[in-house]
Amino acid sequence: MPPQAHYIQPEQLCIGLYIQLELGWWEHDFAFSNFKVKDEAQIRSLQALGLQRLRYDPSRSDCEPLPLPSTADEQPEAPAVEDPQVRARQVRVEKLRHLRQRVAEVDRRFIQASQQVKTLNQTLRSRPEEAVKQAGAIVVELVETLLGGTGAVLHSITGKAAEDSYFHALNVTVLALLLGRQLGLDTEACHSLGLGALLHDIGKLEVPSKVLLKSEPLTKPEQQFLQLHTDFGLKMGQRLMLDDEVLRIIHEHHEHCDGSGYPRGLREAGIDRLSKLVTITNQFDNLCNPLDPRSALSPHEALALMFKQQRSRFDEVALKAFIRAMGIYPPGSLVQLEDERYALVLGGNPTQPLKPTLILHDPAVPKQEALILDLEQEPGLAITRSLRPAQLPLEVLEYLSPRRQLSYFIEPQPGRG
């Protein structure tokens, strides 16, 4: 038989009672539905829910509920007025619903864009001129979103949306355009930047898949052949009569400011300004999404590595701008909160980089209904550290981030506040 349920009235609440809220997670302000009351503020918040009764667990409580007031002590009922705390809860419920809708819409738009990129890659061999038109259309939409009046917020893609898609070219493009916006590039420059980023690896069509997909270290001849993809891409781009800045991105996206890159070992002054941006976003995505997922870095780690150990390779102003654009805890980062719970950073907050949007791990909540928190609306919660996937218990990792790849897309209307 199930254990007997015990209920109290809201006026019987006191510190030490173990409460079991019989509400959906979106219907209350508390991080968990089951918890022990720890202070008067929680009592006031529970009473503000407007419930006739509350379930509690005597075996997990530290004390008995307060006695009900006698009828002799009861005061005449005051006229009903709307409790501001009840109204605040209703507003919060609506914000959470809106937040989930936003996340679902970003995922939907990512799937649509990734399918367009998949079609683009299939068309490049047979109808390259048509593929360039398709690429232009994809970039126009992204540029309009990023440079629109409402701006855009970067999101990591949840669930299975990021799997089995042509995510690298799309990631590099989205991140390059985000960086271009951060640096104040105009629409024309952003269009060239986006087209070059989307087509930066077209030369790999000439590289055998056994080299491209090899997860073990490449032999020296294989490495040299792979590096030819920049020259192959330049020739293809010239045949397609692409603009000069687009051609330079395709040819120069592996050049480094310290001269250590390829194919020509150019130094900073010899590398095109847009090529320098794609070099940064290409390297970032390669660190986060290597062929062997076991060697993947978290977004936080990838940025730290690029800044601390590889800084000489990149344009200093652009690298710092990229770090600012990604935020202290970039979308896709796994983090731990002050109360030791784990979360996945879902979206950035440009005005408050320490307050991103999170997916919270809670084993009491089904994974498909995972709690989404906007830390801007949660003054009592804060992130303490960023974690690598290997630092999380397996069940937490499966709950928060089951996919192998990390993908990004942009939300056109932040809708904050």
Give the tokens for residue 79. 């006229």
44 and 162 inside one domain: no
Specify whether 304 is located in the same domain as 190. Answer: yes
Q: 257 Cβ partners below 8 Å, 6+ apart?
A: 267, 268, 271, 276, 312, 313, 314, 315
Q: What is the pTM of this model?
A: 0.77
- Please tell me the total count of domains within the chain: 2
Within a domain: 31: yes
pLDDT digits (tens, 9 = 90+) for 273-292: 999 999 999 999 999 888 88
Q: Is residue 295 located within the same domain as residue 161?
A: yes
Same domain, 143 and 270: yes
Are 34 and 21 in contact, with CB atoms under 8 Å apart? yes
How far is the C-alpha of 171 from the C-alpha of 173, rounded, in Å?
5
In a domain, 314, yes or no: yes
User: 166-216, pLDDT tens digit by residue?
Assistant: 789 999 999 999 999 999 999 999 999 999 999 999 999 999 989 988 878
User: For residue 271, is it within any domain?
Assistant: yes
Domain contains 318: yes
Using the 3D structure, point to which of 64, 83, 112 is the last residue of a domain.
Answer: 64
Domain of residue 181: give its range: 93-326+404-411
Judge if 51 and 124 occupy the same domain. no
Residue the block writes with tokens 């395709």: 250
Is 10 inside a domain boundary? yes
Where is the domain boundary, 19, 44, 64? 64
Nearest in space to 153 (alpha carbons), one of 410, 407, 325, 373: 410
Least confident of 233-237, 297-301, 369-373: 369-373
Considering the domain architecture, whether residues 53 and 135 belong to the same structural domain is answered as no
Mean pLDDT of 315-339: 91
Instruction: Give residue-wise pLDDT tens across range 143-155.
Output: 988 887 555 778 8
Tell me, yes or no, whether 22 and 144 share the same domain.
no
Residue 120's CB is within 10 A of a number of other CB atoms, namely 23
Domain assignment present for 367: no
- 28 and 107 in a single domain? The answer is no
**Residues 49 and 182 placed together within one structural domain of the fold:** no
DSSP 3-state helix, strand, coil percentages of the chain (rounded to 5)?
50, 10, 40
Q: Is residue 180 part of a domain?
A: yes
Report pLDDT digits (tens) over 45-87. 888 888 889 999 999 999 999 998 765 455 555 555 556 666 6
Report the CATH number that the domain containing residue 273 is assigned in CATH.
1.10.3210.10
Assess whether the previous peptide bond of 263 is cis (omega < 30° from 0): yes
Dihedral angle sign, alpha carbons of residues 275, 277, 279, 282: negative
